[in-house]
Amino acid sequence: MAKDDLIIQSVVGINDLKERMTINSYNGFHPKFKATDEKTCQWLRHNFKNVSATIERNGKSYDIKIDQIQQGDALFKLYNFPNELRKLTIVTDRLIRELKSRGFLRFHVDQLASSLSVEQREIANVNHLIQNIKKGAQQRDKGKVVVEELLDHARDGDLNTAEIVNFIKDVSQDPAMDAVSAMVGLKESDQTYAHCIDVGAIFLTVYYDVMKKNNRKSIFKNDQEAMFSSFLHDIGKSRIPKDILDSTIRFDRDSEEMKQMFNHPVYGKEILEKMKMPDYVINMAHYHHVKAETTMASSYPEVENYDEVLYETRLMSIIDVYQALVGKRSYKKSWTPPAAIRYIDTLAGVEYDFDAWDDFLNIMGRYPIGSLVELSEQSIAFVVSVPEGDLYKPGVVRVRNAGGGDIDDHSLLNLADSDITIEKDLDSTEIFGTQGLEVFSGIQLL
């Protein structure tokens, strides 16, 4: 969600230009600027002194200072406004009138999210999420390496958390982690390192939204502590030999290897106790595999009473299994995000805490952001927003038409306001191969 004070960058037409926006560049022009006459060139040189421009001359594109513009050039962009020309970038009613009369039609602007209409805000939220996808993917790759190194060093007896603390400091300043939860179904995951980062990223997004929605207070001292405990919920795996951890073979339930794996929550508790971590951080590592029905064979370690398991741990255990189902595993086919949601839904109240499940579902929706779906009109679309009301009717963006052709002209379709429905969910790998994330991050709403 875009925060009210967030600065959103977007492209707007002259009729949507409003006071309080700041123009970064002029990007759309009246046809007279496509083959400029000498008078227009003179006027540009005089009024846009020292501004940079992108032009086309004899079929080739050039970046020049506007002073070098020549008769016949086609103007595509004006940018890099010097300070003395700020009056051409700070939007006022007078500037809008002036720009309109001169034939300037489209602009790249900065604006506060709070100054947008509901529809513009929805579009800005989607664009903001998509812009963060690439950055989020980089952070995820970096986090994965940091977690792997931490576990490797811990295995050699050297528990050094400095790197992960630095990584957390880095990403807690940055909203791109939000985007990571949208890409879990679109990017390959291993079962330990990227898994930890994905679980942590989803936990943060969901947990803080739940707290805000229900007007409850976080138990964590700060974001960094919340990140630390969710990224390191599987820290106990550092005591398990690496060949078992990284194995792509699925071990038998009764095998020696699985017995070791079942110990990781207790190892985690011991490690975090040694580090003198707060009780709730230890609880998350210790009890994240405890089921609501604590007597189930798949519930471990033993607990006296499910009340020992904190709400935060219960919520994380749902995210843990969701990521494990959706993230691709070499020994089994991955699930689509909506299929994973349907599956966990059948286990809520038995394996997973019902209230935590309800909270998770209301934030993630029936079709989590990043899900690929086929619509009733047979087009293919990505889910880009979770609806407030009916969770079966998210906001989507169509990327392929009924005939199978790619759609480049993207628009937001709120299924809640439409007769079009979701026909079925699709596996992005089957449709786009390894390019799913590429297609998703190529979405741009105007």
Nearest distance, CB of residue 235 and Fe ion, angstroms:
10
Element (H, E) at 355: helix 354-364
Nearest distance, CB of residue 207 and Fe ion, angstroms:
16
Residue 321 and residue 308: Cα distance in Å, rounded? 20
Nearest distance, CB of residue 383 and Fe ion, angstroms:
25
Nearest distance, CB of residue 385 and Fe ion, angstroms:
28
What's the chain's length in residues?
A: 446
Q: Is 178 or 234 the residue whose CB approaches Fe ion more closely?
A: 234
Element (H, E) at 198: helix 193-213
For strands 372-375 and 422-426, give the pairing: antiparallel
Q: Is 178 or 198 the residue whose CB approaches Fe ion more closely?
A: 198
Residue 225 and residue 320: Cα distance in Å, rounded? 18
Nearest distance, CB of residue 293 and Fe ion, angstroms:
18
Q: Is 320 or 359 the residue whose CB approaches Fe ion more closely?
A: 320
Q: What does the block give as tokens for 219?
A: 């138990």
Quickly count: other Cβ atoms within 10 Å of residue 115's Cβ: 14
Q: Is 139 or 230 the residue whose CB approaches Fe ion more closely?
A: 230
Nearest distance, CB of residue 324 and Fe ion, angstroms:
7
Nearest distance, CB of residue 69 and Fe ion, angstroms:
59
What b/e readout covers 340-360, taking b as 16+ CB neighbours within 10 angstroms? bbeebeeebeebbbeebbebb
Query: DSSP of 229-280, one letter per residue?
Result: HHHTTTGGGGGS-HHHHT--SPPPTTSHHHHHHHTHHHHHHHHHHHTT--HH
Nearest distance, CB of residue 425 and Fe ion, angstroms:
24
Q: Is 77 or 269 the residue whose CB approaches Fe ion more closely?
A: 269
Q: Is 182 or 196 the residue whose CB approaches Fe ion more closely?
A: 196
Q: What does the block give as tokens for 80?
A: 């890099």
Q: Is 122 or 234 the residue whose CB approaches Fe ion more closely?
A: 234
Tokens 């809520």, residue located: 348
Q: What does the block give as tokens for 429?
A: 């790998």
Summarize as ranges the residues that interact with Fe ion (CB under 5 A): 234, 320
Nearest distance, CB of residue 164 and Fe ion, angstroms:
16
Element (H, E) at 25: strand 22-29
Task: Answer whether 136's CB lies under 8 Å from 57's CB.
Answer: no
Q: Is 89 or 192 the residue whose CB approaches Fe ion more closely?
A: 192
In terms of DSSP H, where are the helices of 116-192?
118-155, 162-172, 177-180
Q: Is 185 or 395 the residue whose CB approaches Fe ion more closely?
A: 185
